[in-house]
Amino acid sequence: MKVQLEEDTVEIDVFLSIVYGSIIQEVAEKVQENVKKAIESMTEFKVMTVNVHVQGVTQPEEENNKRNGKVCGMRKTEREKAFKLLYEMGIKKKKR
């Protein structure tokens, strides 16, 4: 995942592999929606774009073996990396 900040807006690039048999466009659109919703609900930033880069295709058995709990269409480890990156960049947490 790559994040670019400009004032109160953010652009995000997400790199992922798709499970064989999935409809790529549907998965990419869902990832875009979920990433945008997650970032905007947890920070004060407006997400301008979420670019999804499909880097490969995995077999369903491989994906089942790798699963460790998904939230927002992202594996836990990917989510943790994203939050760490946002934290390191000084992202402001949304006031509730």
pLDDT in tens, 27-59: 999 999 999 998 888 888 899 999 999 999 888
pLDDT in tens, 67-93: 544 444 455 566 666 666 666 666 555
Residue type, 69: G
In this prediction, residue 63 carries a pLDDT of: 52
Q: Which residues contact 9 (CB under 8 A, 6 or more apart)?
A: 45, 46, 47, 48
Q: Does 12 score more than 90 pLDDT?
A: yes
CA 8/CA 96 separation, integer angstroms: 17
Q: What are residue 91's DSSP bridge partners?
A: none
In this prediction, residue 55 carries a pLDDT of: 92
* pTM of this structure: 0.64
